[in-house]
Homo-oligomer: A and B are copies of this chain.
Amino acid sequence: MGRMGSSGGGAVMVVAVALVLVFGNALELARSEEEILKIWPMPAEVRYGQRQVYLSGEFGVSTEYADGSGILKDGFNRMVSLIKEDHVVVEANLSHNSLLLGLHVLISSPNHQEQLQYGIDESYKLMVPVPSPGKPAYAHLQAQTVYGALHGFQTFSQLCQFNFKSKVIEVKMAPWTIIDQPRFSYRGLLIDTSRHYLPLPVIKNVIDSMTYAKLNVLHWHIVDTQSFPLEIPSYPKLWDGAYSTSERYTAADAAEIVSYAQKRGINVLAEIDVPGHALSWGIGYPSLWPSKDCQQPLDVSNEFTFKVIDGILSDFSKIFKFKFVHLGGDEVNTSCWTTTPRISKWLKKKGMNESQAYEYFVLRAQDIALSHGYEIVNWEETFVNFGKKLNPKTIVHNWLAVGLAQQVVASGLRCIVSNQEKWYLDHLDTTWEEFYLNEPLRNITNLNQQKLVIGGEVCMWGETIDASDIEQTIWPRAAAAAERLWTPYDKLAKNMRQVTGRLAHFRCLLNQRGVAAAPLDGFGRSSPRGPGSCYIQ
A531 within 8 A of B: yes
CB contact list, A1-40 vs B, under 8 A:
1-10, 13-14, 16-17, 20-21, 23-24, 27-28
Q: Which of A86-103 contact B (CB under 8 A)?
A: 86-88, 90
Chain A interface residues toward B at CB < 8 A: 1-10, 13-14, 16-17, 20-21, 23-24, 27-28, 85-88, 90, 161-162, 164, 167, 192, 194-197, 199-202, 205, 224-227, 231, 240-241, 243-250, 252-253, 255-256, 273, 276-277, 279-280, 282-283, 290, 293-297, 328, 330-331, 333, 335-336, 379, 397, 399, 420, 424, 426-427, 459, 461-472, 508, 511-519, 525, 527-535, 537
Partner of A528, one of B244, B466, B516: B466
A529 touches B20 (CB 8 A): no
What is the bound-complex CA distance between A335 and B461, given in angstroms? 53
Q: Which of A241, A248, A290, A533 has the most CB of B within 10 A?
A: A533
Q: Contact at B200–A87, with CB atoms within 8 Å?
A: yes
- In the complex, are the beta carbons of B279 and A6 less than 8 A apart? yes
Contacts A87-B200, A244-B27 hold; do A195 and B2 have CB atoms under 8 A apart?
yes
- Interface pair B519/A466, CB less than 8 Å apart: yes
Copies, count: 2
Q: Would A252 and B530 count as touching, CB distance under 8 A?
A: no
Shortest beta-carbon distance from A107 to chain B in Å: 30
A6 and B243 contact, Cβ closer than 8 Å, known pairs A250-B88, A511-B199, A528-B466: no
6 example contacts (A-B, Cβ-Cβ < 8 A) are as follows: A5-B277, A9-B333, A199-B511, A202-B514, A247-B535, A516-B516
Check B283–A333 contact: CB distance below 8 A: no
Cβ-defined partner of A467 (8 Å) among B2, B28, B330, B511: B511
Output the residue of A23, A426, A461, A463 with the most chain B CB within 10 A.
A463
Judge whether A224 and B5 touch: CB under 8 Å.
Answer: yes
Known A-B contacts: A87-B249, A87-B252, A468-B528. Give 16 more (CB < 8 A): A1-B331, A2-B192, A2-B462, A3-B424, A6-B331, A8-B333, A9-B333, A9-B335, A23-B243, A23-B244, A27-B246, A195-B530, A196-B528, A227-B531, A227-B533, A467-B534
